[in-house]
Amino acid sequence: MSEFDYTTSAGLFSAKGRSGLRYRRFPQAAEAIRYAIEKLPPRVFLGTSLEVNRDRYDAEQIRALYESERYPLTRKDPSL
């Protein structure tokens, strides 16, 4: 993932209980990653995948991208 482009557009797929999958499109992958980590409930996040340039990333990989030193956006304050 060292070559991951955080500025590329991305699609985020998340499981929403019995209602199936929910899809959101983001202009930048960094924004999709932040939404997945900071906004989705933990149990929904576990069933989430990110699609960037036809590559798919599961919840564990999304978290690694968020925690990377290369992540370009400000992270949520963990004390909140």
Within-domain flag for 36 = yes
Give the H/E segment covering residue 25: strand 21-26
Within-domain flag for 75 = no
pLDDT at 80: 46
In the predicted structure, residue 68 carries a pLDDT above the cut 60: yes
Alpha carbon distance 59, 47 (integer Å): 7
pLDDT at 3: 87
Within-domain flag for 80 = no
pLDDT at 19: 63
* Cβ contact 8:28 at 8 Å: yes
User: Which pair of tokens denotes residue 8?
Assistant: 């590329």
Range of the domain at 45: 10-67
In the predicted structure, residue 78 carries a pLDDT above the cut 70: no
Number of domains in the chain: 1
Q: What is the pLDDT of residues 8-32, one digit of tens each?
A: 999 999 977 666 678 999 999 999 9
Q: What is the pLDDT of residues 41-56, one digit of tens each?
A: 898 999 999 999 999 9
